[in-house]
Amino acid sequence: MFKKIEIWIVYLLSILFFVVLIVFGSVLRSYYVRGDTLKFAQPAAVFLAEIPSNFVALLDVSNRNEVYRKSQEVYIPANTKAQIISSDSFKLEVFNEYKKGFILTSAQNIEFDQPTIFLFDLEKNEIIYEWIISIEEIENFLNIDSPRDPWRVQHPLLLENGQIIFIHGEGPLVKIDACSDIMWARDGNYHHAINFNDINKKEIIVQNIYSDSSYLKNYYDFITNIRDDSYEIINIDSGETLSETSILKILLENGYEDIVH
């Protein structure tokens, strides 16, 4: 009933199968990471890959709209929070919390040729407010001339009434109002996150380079590649430093001199 197949044909078909499988996997992966590998074939690869799950899901009539919605989106499986990015526009959603909340971030604004801070509404899928940072005003306020390649606006912290506190990486700490006018600014080498003080919400805790560290001078005056950072507690309203604590001091006084490097 069945004719025998030459063994070399079986081997050839097996090799071709694995080659096609590798190419298919490569094209599919390129689609999900926004790559350009065989871009013309990517839609077909995605369609084939989703046939089993879509077929099962379509058996459930109540789930058909959900299947269609998912077909319009690109999943980033490496993210444990299951973030989804739309393939046709910038749309960031958290799994089971679709279109809820806001994102506060900063980026270089091409129109103004400088960084701005903006509030992005996930439900409206648009920027709903933007703070325009005047680098020149900050430099004049502090009487400094800071590097602008690039001038960075980092770690914005949103306060009541639309006020913002932000850092120019390893540079000044600045507070502006809702109209982007400077309320206060401090020169320094501030870096990384700005956090509320859990003990007093009218205070923030920030990191700074402790340039006048007596601990650094006393213990490591023969080493040049060590710096002493500190954390400052600052009054939000006035911008006054209420206290500054050396990180090096904490380590040395608690017997951790061996991990200082």
Q: Which residues contact 210 (CB under 8 A, 6 or more apart)?
A: 216, 227, 228, 229, 230, 244, 246, 247, 248
Query: H helices within 72-198, ranges in order?
Result: 135-142
Q: Which residues contact 234 (CB under 8 A, 6 or more apart)?
A: 173, 186, 203, 204, 205, 206, 240, 241, 242
Rounded-to-integer distance, Cα 239 and Cα 208, Å: 14
Neighbour count for residue 69 (Cβ, 10 Å):
11
Neighbour count for residue 165 (Cβ, 10 Å):
21
Rounded-to-integer distance, Cα 121 and Cα 126, Å: 6
The domain segmentation of the chain, as residue ranges, is: 1-89
Q: 83, 122 in Cβ contact below 8 A?
A: no
- Alpha carbon 114 to its chain centroid, in Å, reads 19
**pLDDT tens, residue by residue, 1-41:** 566 778 888 888 889 988 988 888 888 887 766 677 788 88
Classify residue 54 by burial, with Cβ atoms within 10 Å: 0-12, 13-18, 19+: middle
Residue type, 228: D
Per-residue pLDDT of the chain (261 residues; tens, 9 = 90+): 566 778 888 888 889 988 988 888 888 887 766 677 788 888 888 888 888 776 665 565 555 455 444 444 444 344 333 344 444 444 444 434 455 688 899 888 888 777 889 999 888 888 899 998 888 899 899 998 876 666 778 899 999 889 999 998 788 999 999 999 999 999 988 988 899 998 998 999 998 887 665 655 555 554 556 677 888 999 999 999 999 888 888 887 888 877 766
